[in-house]
Chains A and B, each alone.
Chain A
Amino acid sequence: MARELTGSRVPAAWALPIALAALAGLALLSVCVGRYALTPAQVLAALREGPGGGGTDATVAGIVWQIRLPRIGLAILVGAALAAAGAAFQQLFRNPLVAPDTLGVSAGAALGAVVAILAGAAFASVELAAFTGGLAAVVVVTLVSSRLRGYEPIVTLILTGVVVGGLLGAGISFVKLVADPYNQLPAITFWLMGSFAAATGRDLAAAAPPVALGLAVLAALAWRIDLLALPDDEARALGADTRVLRAAVIGAATLATAAGVAVSGIVGWVGLIVPHMARLIVGPGFARLLPLAAAMGAALMLAIDTAARALLSVELPPGILTAVLGTPLFLWLLARVRRDW
């Protein structure tokens, strides 16, 4: 199956431009739709006039610049970060079933966030706590697993991530148990489901640099990352310093994921499923996989967030929509590709 799709170079070469064009179209559509519908002409005028508003219509300028653009930017940023990190982790673990949070980054970020909410922290420090918690969880997992011997390093790493994630999950449950059920618990539940509703330009400015740095490192190492798809012995025999390379990839992918999760909360599925779709189209070579996965992840996240706020009168958390869409899509992929991921 995969061969039919990837056997010729033409669709592979066109995949990235098509994904980027779709992303641009989606972004324009997303600025227009919502409770206060705008025409493309209104949007373009507001974009031309800049955030100051120039004069025509302050309401339109405010909606475009203060509300919709930050939210769109954040959805694009988080979608790209999760999909790119998912592609990197799948290659690194030689396992197409892992997601960006396999090493506990989401669980760590969630625990950081809920503890901050419990402590009554301001919104900015919730994000900072989430970011710190996500990074700390992955540092703990990698340090602990490097002390353990006896299995292949990759297997040890995944197992350590799973058990540490379980422990963090228990911590989250405990915080929910002791949280104030009228104010804090809803905030915690809302955060854990993920949302772009409260996005501001400041969120975007805070999350963009770590995401960009993470993705830049992955892009720079792209061809080497293919070597990590080989068994450890083989990659080392080919001259790769797998310990250093693995640490760099884990660091870069975790940085991007943690920054995304910190501003959006937990949005599952995108990091698992988008790398599969991208791999079906361009094959597993990371140099072509990474940009396509990032573009498709951004487009999917934006489409889902736009649908979440525009389709129903009550806004749905995007995490619920990604799960509802992601499950059948993933099963369809599984049935379609057989062993040929």
Chain B
Amino acid sequence: MLDVNDLAFGFPGVPVGRDVTLRVERGATLAVLGGNGAGKTTLLRTLLGLLPALGGSVRVDGVAVARLRPAERARRFAYVPQQHVPPFPFTVEEAVVMGRAVHLSTFARPAEIDRRAARNALERLDIGSLAARRVTELSGGERQLVLIARALAQDAPILILDEPTASLDFGNRARVLAELDRLRRDGLAIVFSTHEPDHALAHADQALLLSGGTSLACDAAERALTADNVSRLYGVPVDLVDIGADRRTFVVRGARALR
């Protein structure tokens, strides 16, 4: 579905990363990990075609993303950016209905079917009760969920999420990750960035580790996310500990080891 070949990304004159090759199929999830400033957001924006690639290619079903018009891109990709405080107090329902833009002609206004899609997306994330609230009044975590709902209402086969769990509490984080698993089972191709190697290990099929402007590893999650690689990625010694029930978690070695 999504094919990235030898991609160099960044801003005109300011390369951020290079040599990224990956492939995400329908019903599969790729996690992107990297330290602060490693270029995760820039990579995701390049995949979405919001930034031109500096080299290499991004293709969806064989079509170069750079060639697509915005509406054609939006039919293929839905994007969940990091949450921010919006300048105007739209209601949650109004904000989620905006995800339907690509299904509406230029001069059209959303109809009942679009509002229903928005409400369904909210229900799916268990936040139907927020529908009449104003986005400016929500907590950061609630706003993040609203952005995810908007992407679901967009109904695109590829979902790209920029640190979707960053501002969520423990329960909402679990809820969003479970929803990502469900969407993957429904056949979406999912790319998300995260600061939590545990989330990548538990919820992604593949992992891309970005470090020093290039990919340190890009492989099946189990193979990419070794204690060794994660230690190198974040510059702190890490153990991968078996916690039973076929689950493992990354643990930073004792504070003494950090000195």
Contact = CB atoms under 8 A, between A and B. Distances in A.
A96 interface: yes
A67 interface: no
Interface string A24-43: 00000000000000000000
A340 B101 contact: no
Nearest to B103: A239
B137 A239 contact: no
Given A223-B109, A229-B86, A230-B86, A238 B101 contact: yes
B55 to A, nearest CB: 19
Interface residues of B, number: 38
A237 B72 CA distance: 10
B87 A340 contact: no
Interface string B159-186: 0000000000000000000000000000
B70 A239 contact: yes
B23 interface: no
Interface stretch (B90-98, B195-203, B228-236): B90-98
A340 B77 contact: no
Interface string A137-153: 00000000000010000
A287 B108 CA distance: 11
Interface in B71-106: 71, 73-75, 77-79, 81, 84, 86-91, 94, 98-99, 101-102, 104, 106
Interface residues of A, number: 35
A239 B73 contact: yes
Nearest to A95: B87
Contact of B98 (A220, A222, A236, A238): A238
B91 to A, nearest CB: 7
B90 A284 contact: yes
Interface string B3-15: 0000000001000
Contact of B87 (A94, A237, A283): A94
B98 A230 contact: yes
A234 interface: yes
Contacts of B37: none
B69 interface: yes
B110 A223 contact: yes
Nearest to B132: A7
B45 interface: yes
A229 B88 contact: yes
B90 A237 contact: no
B101 A224 contact: yes
Interface of A: 2-3, 7, 91, 94-96, 149, 220-224, 226-227, 229-231, 233-234, 236-242, 279, 283-285, 287, 339-341
29 contacts: A2-B134, A3-B89, A149-B12, A221-B106, A224-B101, A226-B94, A230-B86, A231-B81, A231-B84, A234-B79, A234-B81, A236-B74, A237-B73, A237-B74, A237-B79, A237-B81, A238-B98, A238-B99, A238-B102, A239-B71, A239-B101, A242-B70, A279-B88, A283-B94, A283-B134, A285-B90, A340-B136, A340-B137, A341-B88
Given A227-B101, A237-B78, A340-B134, 18 more contacts: A2-B89, A3-B134, A220-B107, A223-B109, A224-B106, A226-B94, A229-B90, A230-B98, A234-B81, A236-B50, A237-B79, A238-B79, A238-B102, A238-B150, A239-B75, A239-B102, A241-B71, A339-B136
